[in-house]
Amino acid sequence: MKKFLDKDFLLETETAQHLYHNHAASKPIIDYHCHIPPQDIANDRQFKNLTEIWLEGDHYKWRAMRTNGIDEKYCTGDVDPFQKFKKWAETVPYTLRNPLYHWTHMELQRYFGINDILNGSTAEKIYNEASEKLNTPEYSVRKLLKKMNVEVVCTTDDPADTLEFHKKIKEDGFDVKIAPAFRADKVLAIENIDAYHAYLEKLSEAADTNIASYNDLLSALKKRHDFFHDMGCRVSDHGLEYVYAKNYNNTEIKSIFNKVLIKAELKPKEIAKFKSAILVFLAEMDHEKGWVQQFHLGALRNNNSRMMRELGPDTGFDSIGDFEIGKPLATFLDRLDTNNKLAKTILYNLNPRDNELMATMIGNFNVGNTPGKIQFGSGWWFLDQKDGMEKQMNALSNMGMLSKFVGMLTDSRSFMSYPRHEYFRRILCNLFGNDVENGLLPNDMDLISQVVEDICYNNAKNYFNF
């Protein structure tokens, strides 16, 4: 019987162990999509205790605690930090076979050297030991990134963001590259008319542009896109239910935006056309500057309206959606490709039923001028666990080229999430190791170890040009 979470965790064969320990483990981390706050990096935040760094903003844990019958005040309320942590510790034993069980104990081991199993009985000892370390200089945010061998972090930033914290990080000369990513979801959200008007004011101020027409909106977005590029941004991101790809003309879109400006009621078709036009405009700017565009598709967000009113978005009330993905995505990509304005693109699906769809979609637009130009993104959100990662990589292997895959990202709001890259690398090495030992691949360690190193690091390094 293997020991839980030992050095060969998830590595079922000697070949897998060799690939991981000798080729994957030491590679630096390029975290090309996450949600960690740049303010904390700029200020080199020192977390006071394990609750702050582990439970602050982590809706994965909140969701598990709620399922375990824990009162909301221990998730998002203002109660004693240790009491919050103890409720999480009491929940952990019930997360068996959920990735949270693995991640929790990997994080305790990798960051703090704590090998105890977390539960209600061990909560106080673990909390005190970890919190004591967090209050030392070696556990500031910047030191944590260095400790995890992180080379690049791409945060997620709105076009109206000042990027003041990115500027400070750059001026400080921090040797982990912290770059912004351009996430313009709010520019599309015209269905929420009052919120949209408030957002236009912010965007107008940031771009120093009076937005009184559709052309003014495009001008403001162009200014902000240029500013982000000057600040080191090379990646955009979109979080959508599905890609919008309706036919439109500029006269229509100008008319629709004029209705937005006077808060007139919009028809669903008008909303879809406007979003289609904005997506194309953003994608063309990405292509012009040589950026990578990312599309996270298929989340059904904010399902609990009561909790949405009380807590706001991104608090653990989202699920996998059931949308038509393929046809509009193909139309959108084809429109850009036809005009030779299709940037390097990463496509992520949240519904696992779409794995094969995505794996085949990317092949339609990989036209030979850039290796792996269109990518099937790693298992994301509800799919970033062992089964989800294996299914994503198997679909990509069967219908594309796993060897050109740019690998893992955290998509996390926590500085404690970097062992997820290790988790992914172990799963990747186990897939290759099993195939070698079962005679499905040749025992050519020069070839296979190179592919593993490429997926863990080299492909992303070359793809993003960091």
pLDDT tens readout for residues 136-168: 999 999 999 999 999 999 999 999 999 999 999
d(CA 4, CA 176): 32
Q: For position 325, what pLDDT does the model report?
A: 95
Q: Which of 149-163, 264-278, 313-327, 336-350 has the lowest mean pLDDT?
A: 313-327
pLDDT tens per residue across span 397-422: 999 999 999 999 999 999 999 999 99
The percent of residues above 70 in pLDDT, for the chain, comes to 100
CATH class of the region 46-139: mainly alpha
Q: For position 312, what pLDDT does the model report?
A: 86
Question: pLDDT confidence of 3, banded at 50, 70, 90?
Answer: very high
pLDDT tens per residue across span 91-127: 999 999 999 999 999 999 999 999 999 999 999 999 9
Q: For position 367, what pLDDT does the model report?
A: 82
pLDDT at 313 over 90: no
List where CATH 3.20.20.140 sits in the chain.
14-45+141-464
Question: pLDDT confidence of 322, banded at 50, 70, 90?
Answer: very high
- Per-residue pLDDT, averaged over 303-312, amounts to 87
Q: For position 310, what pLDDT does the model report?
A: 86
pLDDT tens per residue across span 377-400: 999 999 999 999 999 999 999 999
List where CATH 1.10.2020.10 sits in the chain.
46-139
pLDDT at 23 over 90: yes
The percent of residues above 90 in pLDDT, for the chain, comes to 92
Q: For position 368, what pLDDT does the model report?
A: 77
Q: For position 314, what pLDDT does the model report?
A: 82
Question: pLDDT confidence of 231, banded at 50, 70, 90?
Answer: very high
pLDDT tens per residue across span 332-373: 999 999 999 999 999 999 999 999 999 999 999 998 788 999
Q: What is the mean pLDDT of the chain?
A: 96
pLDDT at 57 over 90: no
pLDDT at 177 over 80: yes
Question: pLDDT confidence of 315, banded at 50, 70, 90?
Answer: confident
14-45+141-464 CATH fold: TIM Barrel (3.20.20)
